[in-house]
């Protein structure tokens, strides 16, 4: 969709240096970068999916990377919240 409405051309024309740095980083280490990006709570996961689409990174690598990152942070939230609440309220 991003390519269909020419967002890729807009960003390549407006931010060529940043796009080139991001492209090189993703080309060299696609899966670790996507996973770390998905793990970071202050960065939207939709943005990495969009960027992967514009840079034509395979859907499988994008899904695996975001699943690793999001799965890890969600597990931390779930289990961390459980242990925190159980220690506060003395739940077994």
Could you tell me the residue ranges of all domains in the chain? 7-89
Looking from the CA of 92 toward its CB, the CA atoms found within 13 Å total: 0
Given a contact cutoff of 8 angstroms between Cβ atoms, the answer to whether 63 and 71 are in contact is no
DSSP code at position 91: -
pTM: 0.71
Res. 64 pLDDT band, cuts 50 70 90: very high
pLDDT value at position 3?
Answer: 67
pLDDT value at position 92?
Answer: 59
Task: Dump pLDDT digits (tens) for 4-58.
Answer: 777 777 877 888 888 888 888 888 888 898 999 889 888 888 888 888 887 888 8
């Amino acid at each position: 969709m991003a390519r269909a409405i020419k967002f890729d051309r807009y960003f390549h024309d407006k931010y060529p240096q940043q796009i080139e740095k991001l492209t090189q980083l993703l080309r060299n280490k696609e899966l670790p970068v996507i996973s770390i990006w998905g793990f970071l709570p202050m960065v939207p996961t939709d943005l990495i999916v969009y960027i992967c689409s514009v840079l034509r990174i395979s859907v499988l690598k994008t899904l695996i990377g975001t699943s690793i990152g999001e799965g890890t942070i969600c597990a931390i939230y779930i289990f961390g919240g459980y242990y925190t609440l159980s220690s506060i309220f003395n739940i077994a």
